[in-house]
Amino acid sequence: MGIIMSRLQGKVAVITGGSSGIGFATAKRFAEEGAHVFITGRRQAELDKAVEAIGRNVTAVQGDVTHPDDLDRLYAKVRETRGVIDVLFANSGFIELQGIDQISPEHFDKIFGINTKGLLFTVQKALPLMRQGGSIILVSSIANVKAFQSYGAYSASKAAVRSFARTWTLELKDRGIRVNTLSPGPVDTPIIDSQFETKEESDKLRESFAQVIPLGRMGRPEELAAAALFLASDESSFVAGIDLPVDGGMAQV
């Protein structure tokens, strides 16, 4: 007998960066659990593929979290078609490696523009639609507590995200809105390949991560989606302001 999954039955979820990797896996899982999911991302072709793969309970709205007008358009679509948001998964992120001696203003602005500023306005502009008792999940990273060479601006941007969860937990408590961060360790997604020119280089990084992760392998997007489901659902009704690392133990031991 199949298991009927409906932990998000009738809920409305918004996922930024929802066309690939962790965002896509989470959108798929949320839809399977009964939510109607709005996904956004910059590339229309990727969004179309994601919608086809998810198959039902999904609406794609092309947009970039660094453009306020795109966020307004996303939420206008949610307002018109569903009227409310129960779960917001603020997942859009960007990574580029530069050491302290290389960092340029452009590098800094791009990383903080997407990972921190874009995330802040993703949340702020969603608030008028957030239902009492809703769940906001911010995607941070174990880089918010652990040093990785050449990840300076990225790690700082993700530490800021962790800080937002604390502040917003207090600021939104009267509305019963829970804010938590989800911090992935190394996860095997296209972002790994995007950091290198050749597959050999990216595979080398995968191997080096596997060697330092206590569980001996990188994470899978579906494992992050399962943790996001916990934070999105009523099963985490007394969980607020936390940072949930899903990292195979990498930053924990």
Quick one: tokens of 210? 């596997």
- 198 is a domain residue: no
Give domain status of residue 126, yes or no: yes
Q: What is the distance between the alpha carbons of residues 200 and 103, in angstroms, rounded to a whole number?
A: 26
pLDDT tens digits along 102-153? 999 999 999 999 999 999 999 999 999 999 999 999 999 999 999 999 999 9
Query: Across residues 82-91, what is the average pLDDT?
Result: 98
Whether residue 204 is contained in a domain is answered as no
Which residue range forms the structural domain that includes residue 101? 12-184+219-244
pLDDT at 4: 61
pLDDT band, residue 193 (cuts 50/70/90):
confident
Distances (CA, A) of 209 to 51, 184, 217: 31, 13, 7
Whether residue 212 lies inside any domain: the answer is no
* Catalytic site includes residue 154: yes
Q: What is the pLDDT of residues 9-66, one digit of tens each?
A: 999 999 999 999 999 999 999 999 999 999 999 999 999 999 999 999 999 999 999 9
Residue 2 has pLDDT above 60, yes or no: no
CATH code for the domain in which residue 122 is found: 3.40.50.720
**CA neighbor of 183 nearest in space, from 248, 130, 126, 234:** 248
Count structural domains, the chain: 1
Q: Sheet harboring 130-139: ordered strands across?
A: 58-62, 36-41, 12-16, 85-90, 130-139, 178-184, 243-246
Q: Over the chain, what is the mean pLDDT?
A: 96
Instruction: Establish if 145 belongs to a structural domain.
Output: yes
Q: Per the domain annotation, does 132 fall within a domain?
A: yes
Q: What is the DSSP letter of 52?
A: H
Select which of 30, 75, 154, 168 is catalytic.
Answer: 154
Task: Give the number of other CB atoms < 10 A from CB of residue 55.
Answer: 10
